[in-house]
Amino acid sequence: MSKSIELKKKAAEIRIRLMQMIHKAKAGHTGGSLSNTDILTVLYYHTMRHNPMEPKWNERDRFIASKGHSVESLWCILADLGYFPSSELDTFSQFGTRLIGHPNNKVDGIEMNTGALGHGLPISVGMALAAKRYDNDYRVFCLMGDGEQAEGSVWEAAMAGSHYKLDNLVGIIDRNGLQISGSTEDVMGLDPLDKKWEAFGWHVVSIDGNDIDALIETFDKVPSVEGKPTLIIANTVKGKGVSFAENAINWHHRVPSEEELALAVQELQAQIESLDSKEEPCHE
């Protein structure tokens, strides 16, 4: 199986599991987790250096989910990789669970508690700077939301990342165009987002953030420019992979009904079967 198809299938499997998890918990941020699944799939199954058997390995690449409310895809990936038992996903958002609605560093694979928007990139700058100071070659990846760009601390961190020439730092914006109260451009206009980040001294790449091949190609080039941090504007579809949730603002944190879950699983299974058919050997 090609790497690209393997990752596309994995992303569909993760989407199925997160929909099941949110349905069971009767809580969760569905739309943003679906939009960021392809990004996280490529990072964890292809790009980042990490080891579930040694989660505190010093040379691991660091990942910070600054848009911590969309943690469901991350929980499913960490469980699938063996950071904790998959059965624990059934406790998501239940009383006494470790798997709360934001990343929780009591769980192996989580670097820090996040979810108060605007905090992830400043801490990522500190981690990347520490790597430079201590002569470590790990990279730091920070996933932000597009609505999160309204936080002033993001831009303070952007200035610092450029000032310290942190080419081991990668910021990723899940640019799905929607936040809890509407379109990002109606709530707090961001465009031209690329020009703003470039003005802060970052190397900026804009890609289709739901295109596995584009993500592989882009992440394979990191660090992209010597002496500059990289900012990837990952243009995504909120609710990606589930037709009735795509680009629908009410799916920001809506819980699927039994019928909606069944339809979502059916659609995602069809995607997996379609990918399987592409891998069938050709007999002449």
pLDDT digit string (tens) for 170-202?
999 999 998 888 888 988 999 999 999 999 999
Cα dihedral 24, 26, 30, 34 in deg (nearest 10)? 0
pLDDT digits (tens, 9 = 90+) for 58-93: 999 999 999 999 999 999 999 999 999 999 999 999
pLDDT at 283 over 60: no
pLDDT digits (tens, 9 = 90+) for 212-221: 999 999 999 9
pTM: 0.96
Domain residue extents for the chain: 3-278
Beta strands in the chain (DSSP E): 62-65, 140-145, 169-175, 178-179, 182-183, 203-208, 230-235
Fold of 3-278: Rossmann fold (3.40.50)
Count helices and strands (H / E) in the chain: 9, 7
Residues 79/86, Cβ–Cβ less than 8 Å: yes
Residues 230/171, Cβ–Cβ less than 8 Å: yes
- The arithmetic mean of pLDDT across residues 139-160, rounded, is 98
Confidence of residue 284 (pLDDT cuts 50, 70, 90): very low
Q: Is 36 helix (H, G, I), strand (E, B) or coil?
A: helix
- The arithmetic mean of pLDDT across residues 97-111, rounded, is 97
CA angle (155, 63, 56) in 5-degree steps: 135
